[in-house]
Structure 1
């Protein structure tokens, strides 16, 4: 394997980890926002999600 291929693999793994981290962060924010809505909706007389 050439040094270029090894560098491409390392960069690809690094990008994959960054993308997975960003997606996990988006999912966590979605859960937080849904949780806030779940608790605030009855108080504010908004429709419930489920």
Structure 2
């Protein structure tokens, strides 16, 4: 979770500096990490059923 926060901070810096490519890469990375976290938590919830 801390990594996502760090990436989000970097993303805002890149966006502020108009570094479009860097911002897009970071946004994609954040997106995939969040989806990963959600997938893992769903998986662990369904395992307890």
Q: TM-score, normalised by structure 1?
A: 0.60
Map of 2:35 onto structure 1: 20
What are the ranges of 5 or more consecutive residues in structure 1 without an aligned counterpart?
A: 35-50
What are the ranges of 5 or more consecutive residues in structure 2 without an aligned counterpart?
A: 1-17
Instruction: Give deviations 1:1-50, integer Å, cap 9, x for gaps.
Output: xx70000000000000000000000000011011xxxxxxxxxxxxxxxx
- Larger C-alpha radius of gyration, 1 or 2? 1
RMSD: 1.2
CA distance in 1, matches of 2:48, 2:19: 43
The one of the two structures with greater contact order (alpha-carbon pairs below 8 A, sep at least 6) is: 2
- Runs of 4+ residues deviating >6 angstroms: none
